[in-house]
Amino acid sequence: MAISIHVDGARPGATISRYIYGHFSEHLGRCIYGGLFVGKDSPIPNVNGMRTDVVEALKKLKVPVLRWPGGCFADEYHWQDAIGPQENRKRMVNTNWGYVVEDNSFGTHEFLELCRQIGCEPYINANVGSGTVREMAEWVEYLNSDGDSSVVRERWANGQKEPWGVRFFGVGNESWGCGGNMRPEFYADMYLKYQTYCRDYGDNKLFRIACGPSEDDLEWTETLMKNARKHLDALTLHFYTVPTGSWKGSKGSATKFDTDMYYTTLTRANRMEKLVTDHLAVMDRYDPEHKVGLIVDEWGTWYDVEPGTNPGFLYQQNTMRDAMVAALNLNIFNNHADRITMANIAQMVNVLQSVILTDGDQMLLTPTYHVFDLYKAHMDAQLLPSAVFCDELQGGVKQVTASASVKDGVITVTAANLHPTEAAEVLLDVAGAENAQVTARILSGDMHDCNTFEQKDAVTIRDFTDIRKTERGLVVTLPACAVAEITLRA
Ligand code: AHR
């Protein structure tokens, strides 16, 4: 079948929330320690303990929001153990992730300093599983109040006069699993109770986020919506792309895979479309006015760890296959802009589908980083209706995935050719932009290509000129395994 993408440039729709381009950071392996935070005394260049190289790279992505401290870690995290003088901070064992000692040297103040340096908003996910209502309520008070209370005086004593005004606040993580193994009815009640005492302070109104379902657990969504919808701003969905589909055996290697496994990975990743659609349909039954948003606050690929690394650290390489998964997911999120409030790739550095990997003082940008770079113009732009006509690949994923948006009169189309070996000649017809000036950038390569500490720029973005203007529209020849950003300026 001839491949074509049709975009209606004259019908801007919902705004694509910039928070769709959010990230997730957990006290897991080398995400925080070594990846983002090295401490003030480190020989690795840093500002107040945050790695300068990593922060600078993240600033280029215009990261809008960062979720922390977990993940499963969140429901064993006690924020009061990680404030005040370093020497007084409590040490704990990170029982979720490798039983390593957590010295709590990175706590609330450090996280908010990291967000300040990156220029993003914080999203704090608090502890329901093993924390008390009072503990959670006092965390919100410590973060956001300027009343002269003992809790706030402690913040002042720790060097922070002004409240931070944290908006995004999660009440429990995976409460159906590592966050307490709760039934949906029980969690809904726990949610209602905990969130009651998370107060709004001053002008800051909390954006209350409830723990939503795993994958296709529609019953969880239904129960939460039925019982708690009036008290929440959004609920979360977690879905990981595990190529083998097995949580127990091997999940597959990040770098050594054959073409069948490549297709299987994309087919599994593409489940996101159905999951989002199905959960939104349940939500819509209880919330026809769409007051409650959907946040996909954990998504990405999950493989076997790199050989020789700590199995509890979830460190994996990142190839052009991951770039295709990122392109597919981000197009799905964009195309659901009316209902998806936020998404957070798991995780930012050194864990699962990371945008950055570090090794000592070395840092590299992964293919996934470059996809986020290619897509960043979509943030806060208005979605344009688009339709893709093409054949399906083995497993049922369409060969080409796309989304389009407009901001300040500039149209951005992001399109990926998921075929691992064949180029795609695509007719791109953008109604209303026939005379536009066209520029483009592209990321392409063999599906196994990745950046290594020996060859950091093996995969990188380049200018793309294989675009011809014809009477029917633009003819864009996307190489195999490629993702492009095509910009049309009036
Ligand atoms: O991202 C790794 C883990 O995956 C998170 O801690 C947890 O929420 C999920 O199961």
pLDDT(236) > 90: yes
* Nearest Cα residue to atom 7 of ligand 1: 71
Residues in the chain: 490
Prior bond to 71 cis, omega within 30?
Answer: yes
pLDDT of the residue at 366: 98
Per-residue pLDDT tens over the stretch 341-398: 999 999 999 999 999 999 999 999 999 999 999 999 999 999 999 999 999 999 999 9
Question: Is any ligand 1 atom within 6 A of the Cβ of residue 174?
Answer: yes
Q: 72 CA distance to ligand 1 centroid (A)?
A: 6
162 DSSP assignment: S
> How does residue 434 score in pLDDT terms, banded at 50, 70 and 90?
confident
Q: 178 CA distance to ligand 1 centroid (A)?
A: 8
pLDDT(255) > 90: yes
Q: Are 242 and 257 in contact (CB under 8 A)?
A: no
pLDDT(196) > 90: yes
Q: 164 CA distance to ligand 1 centroid (A)?
A: 26
Cα distance between the two ends of the chain: 31
- The pTM for the full model equals 0.97
pLDDT(52) > 90: yes
Per-residue pLDDT tens over the stretch 147-159: 999 999 999 999 9
> How does residue 490 score in pLDDT terms, banded at 50, 70 and 90?
confident
H-type helices in 133-258, by residue range? 133-144, 150-157, 184-196, 218-228
Mean pLDDT score across all residues of the chain: 97
Per-residue pLDDT tens over the stretch 261-281: 999 999 999 999 999 999 999
pLDDT of the residue at 1: 84
Per-residue pLDDT tens over the stretch 439-479: 999 999 999 999 999 999 999 999 999 999 999 999 999 99
Q: Are 39 and 103 in contact (CB under 8 A)?
A: no
Question: Which ligand 1 atom lies nearest to the CA of residue 298?
Answer: 1
CA pair distance 343, 3, nearest whole angstrom: 29
Pairing mode of beta strands 467-470, 473-478: antiparallel
Q: Which residues are catalytic?
A: 174, 298
Closest CA to 267 of 392, 396, 368: 396
Mean pLDDT for the stretch of residues 302-328? 98
Quote the distance between the C-alpha of residue 136 and its chain's center.
24
* Nearest Cα residue to atom 3 of ligand 1: 71
Question: Is any ligand 1 atom within 6 A of the Cβ of residue 399?
Answer: no
pLDDT of the residue at 77: 98
457, two tokens: 């720029």
Question: Which ligand 1 atom lies nearest to the CA of residue 173?
Answer: 8
pLDDT of the residue at 239: 98
Per-residue pLDDT tens over the stretch 84-140: 999 999 999 999 999 999 999 999 999 999 999 999 999 999 999 999 999 999 999
What's the burial of 157, exposed, middle or buried (CB within 10 Å: 0-12/13-18/19+)? exposed
Q: Are 356 and 348 in contact (CB under 8 A)?
A: yes
- Percent of the chain scoring above 70 in pLDDT: 100
Q: 248 CA distance to ligand 1 centroid (A)?
A: 15
